[in-house]
């Protein structure tokens, strides 16, 4: 069975097994897997996958790096807050947020009111291995991107720790295994996720 067939089979098999009661906002550093793992969780639960960065890009008709370059980070963060609020109010599902989104107290409050934050907690070396060959990270466009990533990591980690739920990332885990780890964590919160059968 191909990967695509397997994914479709997973969706069919698992859509009736769970009831998601709140939007799950995936938070964490760039490279932690918020989009890839979030999408896999959404498929397994049979719920929509939402991505705040993609929504911003669609509205602006520009990529995130282009928005940063043209309008600056402050402008981007304002749009990000608007988009996250709108997605939380109008849809439910798995929401992947940008790495800096959870730094905003407004975003944290909105997520807490309408959903639950899940921090994908990845160590610095793992993050660096994932992002070092990509040029889509505007904050890492510096003379020493590894040092910049370490600074961002040190600054943001105490704020990510404010998330209601934490899921540890590991280099040897596949996206599917990470998605299962997230679902197991969500099931510890019956107000967020309910298993409908055994």
Q: What digits encode the pLDDT tens for the residues 73-109?
A: 888 888 899 999 999 998 889 999 988 899 999 999 9
Q: How far is CA 105 from CA 15, 153, 163, in A?
A: 34, 18, 12
**Model's pTM, two decimal places?**
0.85
Q: What digits encode the pLDDT tens for the residues 52-68?
A: 989 888 888 888 878 88
- How many helices and strands, by DSSP H and E, does the chain display? 8, 7
């Amino acid at each position: 069975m191909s990967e695509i067939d397997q994914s479709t089979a997973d969706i069919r098999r698992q859509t009736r097994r769970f009831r998601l009661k709140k939007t799950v906002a995936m938070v964490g550093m760039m490279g932690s897997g918020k989009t890839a793992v979030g999408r896999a969780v959404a498929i397994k639960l049979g719920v929509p996958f939402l991505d705040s960065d993609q929504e911003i890009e669609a509205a602006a008709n520009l990529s995130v790096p282009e928005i940063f370059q043209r309008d600056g980070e402050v402008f981007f963060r304002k749009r990000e807050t608007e988009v996250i609020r709108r997605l939380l109010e109008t849809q439910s599902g798995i929401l992947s947020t940008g790495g800096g989104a959870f730094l905003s107290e407004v975003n944290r409050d909105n997520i807490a009111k309408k959903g639950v934050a899940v921090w994908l907690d990845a160590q610095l070396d793992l993050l660096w291995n994932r992002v070092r060959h990509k040029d889509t990270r505007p904050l890492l466009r510096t003379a020493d991107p590894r040092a910049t990533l370490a600074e961002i990591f040190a600054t943001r980690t105490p704020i990510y720790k404010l998330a209601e739920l934490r899921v540890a990332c590991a280099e040897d885990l596949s996206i599917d295994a990470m998605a299962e780890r997230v679902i197991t964590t969500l099931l510890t919160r019956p107000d967020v996720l309910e298993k409908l059968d055994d």
